[in-house]
A = this chain, B = another copy of it.
C-alpha cells in the first residue's frame, strides 16, 4: 500500500489534506493511494446539503456538525464553492464560512473550488468523500449551492439530499430551482423564525405530493432555524429515516450501482479528454485540420471524426 494511503488509514490529517488537494487538482500521483483506499470506503453516511444562496446552508451545517459531534460521531464536511471557473476562486474574496472547532480531531472540513468543467468537480468531490470515508468519518456532509448542474451532482454523490429553502422565495427562484424538488429527500425550511414558515412548509408538503417519485419515499419537510436553533435533531432524524428507507427498500443498492456507473463513465471521459488534448498538442496535422475548419473547408463533425480516430489508436 502506498505510504500516503497508509498514513490516511492511521489517521494522519496532513496526509489526508495532501491527498485531497491532489484529487482536487486531478493530479495522477494521487491515483495509487486513491485506489488503495477504495476498499476501506463505503461505511460513511453521505448527506448532501443544497439549496439557493442565502438560505443559511452553512449555518445549518455548523449546527448539524455540533449536533452530530455531541453524539460522538466523526464528521467530514466538503463545501463545494461555486466560484468562477475562470479565476478558480471568487474575485470578491473567499468566504470562509466553516471552521473546525479548535482541537476537535473528529472533524475534517474541506472546501473545494468548482473550477474546471462540471464533471471534474463531480469526480473530485466523489473521491474526496470516499477519502473522508476511508479516513473513518461516520458522516460526510457535502454542502453545495443549488444552481443548475450542481444540483445533479449532489444527488450523484450523497445518499440523502437535504434541500434548504427559506419561507419566501420569489416565483422566479422557485422556477429555477424546480430541479431541487426532484432531488430532495428531506426539505429544510430554514429561517423558520421568519413569518410565513408554516405556510411555506405546508406548500412544500403539498408539492411533494405532485412530484413523481420512484419508490415509496415522500420527501419530509422540517422547519429549522439557526438564529434560535430549532429543528436540528428533527432534521437529522429525517435523514436517518431516509437512510433506513434506502436499506429496507433495497434502493441503496440500485442507487450505489448507478452512482458508480456514472463515476466510472466520468473517469473514462476524463481519460479520453486528457488524451484528446495531448493529441491536439502533439499532432501538427490536427492543427492543420483545425485551420481547415476555421476556413470552413471542412465542418466540425468531420474534424471530430478524425480526432476520434486518434483516441482509438493505441498509444
- Specify which of B176, B290, B308 is in contact with A82 (CB 8 Å cutoff): B176
State whether the Cβ of A179 lies closer than 8 Å to any Cβ in chain B: yes
Listed stretches A9-17, A33-41, A100-108, A239-247; interface member: A33-41
Query: Which residues in chain A, 114-129, are within 8 Å of chain B measured between CB atoms?
Result: 114, 117-119
State whether the Cβ of A194 lies closer than 8 Å to any Cβ in chain B: no
State whether the Cβ of A271 lies closer than 8 Å to any Cβ in chain B: yes
Which residues of B have CB within 8 Å of A85?
A: 148-149, 151-152, 179
Contact B302 A35 (CB under 8 A): yes
Question: Chain A: interface secondary structure?
Answer: helix
- Specify which of B86, B290, B304 is in contact with A268 (CB 8 Å cutoff): B304
Most chain B C-beta atoms within 10 Å of own C-beta, residue among A39, A179, A181, A264:
A264
Contact A118 B276 (CB under 8 A): no
Contact A308 B86 (CB under 8 A): no
State whether the Cβ of A206 lies closer than 8 Å to any Cβ in chain B: no
Copies of this chain, tallied across the complex: 2
State whether the Cβ of A307 lies closer than 8 Å to any Cβ in chain B: yes
State whether the Cβ of A90 lies closer than 8 Å to any Cβ in chain B: yes
Which residues of B have CB within 8 Å of A66?
A: none
The smallest C-beta distance from A42 to any residue of chain B, in angstroms, reads 6
Most chain B C-beta atoms within 10 Å of own C-beta, residue among A54, A256, A311, A313:
A311
Task: State the CA gap A290–B254 with chains docked (Å).
Answer: 12
The smallest C-beta distance from A83 to any residue of chain B, in angstroms, reads 6
Contact A280 B267 (CB under 8 A): no
7 smallest CB-CB distances across A and B, nearest first, come from A84-B179, A267-B304, A38-B299, A86-B182, A147-B147, A90-B178, A35-B299
Tell me the A residues contacting B by CB distance below 8 Å: 31, 34-35, 38-39, 41-42, 53-54, 82-87, 90-93, 95, 114, 117-119, 145, 147-152, 170-176, 178-179, 181-183, 210-211, 253, 256-257, 260-261, 263-265, 267-269, 271-273, 276-277, 280, 290, 293-294, 296, 299-305, 307-308, 311-314
